[in-house]
Amino acid sequence: MSMANLTRRTWSLFESVGGWRTVAEGIVSRLLFLVAYLVTGEVVAAALVAVGGVAVFAVSRVWTDRKYWQASIGLVIVGGSALFAGTTGNAVDFYLSTVLGHIVVGSVLLVSVLLRWPIVGLVVGAARREGTSWRRDRPLLRSYQLCTGVLIVKYITVIAVMVPLYLTNQVIAIGIASVTVAGSPATALCFYLCWRILHRRTTPATNQLEGAP
């Protein structure tokens, strides 16, 4: 399979769970909450603003694309964060789901590498419709391990930055970190590095397989 086909199928898998619109909704909700909290000083009001902003996105997606469950993903996540922050009355709790999510996903990524079943390999294998046959190709396995390692570094960085901010109740700092360190810039960089690794290491092996009798 060519790298172009791999990219298209991986993108299709990403789009099936909401794609960049879901990522954007998460970022916008964090920004809306932070700005509204700084303006009003009220946790409940800021939470409602954040939920309202994501609700507009969800309605727009349903209206234009008829994608109901994809539209609900961001709304459910933000709604849960808003409910928790509104219940405790502590603004920093709005970002607890981001912290916990990175701890859980980062742990899963780390375990997958230790067990030599890297998550990136499972995702790309599903996109290429090859199952787990990639595990028999040691160079390709190492590439998937390396890609998963790139993501682990990102998640560890987020945890190292955001956990102390959460524990010390730094609302502004954790809000900014949730958009920058945990948001699209860092995620896009990880995707680019993984794409470069796979482009360099999977293309030759793929060409050999396609040229074999």
Dump pLDDT digits (tens) for 186-203: 888 888 898 888 887 644
Helix count (H) and strand count (E) of the chain?
9, 0
Per-residue pLDDT for 212 more than 70? no
- pLDDT of the residue at 132: 87
- pLDDT of the residue at 67: 65
CA distance 56 to 126: 33
pTM: predicted TM-score of the whole model, two decimal places: 0.79
The pair of three-digit structure tokens given for residue 81, joined into one six-digit string: 């964060």
Element (H, E) at 137: none
pLDDT for 102-154, tens place per residue?
999 999 999 999 999 999 999 888 877 778 888 999 999 999 999 999 999 99
Quick check: 58 and 70 in contact, CB under 8 A?
A: no
**Where do the structural domains in the chain lie, given as residue ranges?**
3-207
Return the higher-pLDDT residue of 186 and 63.
186
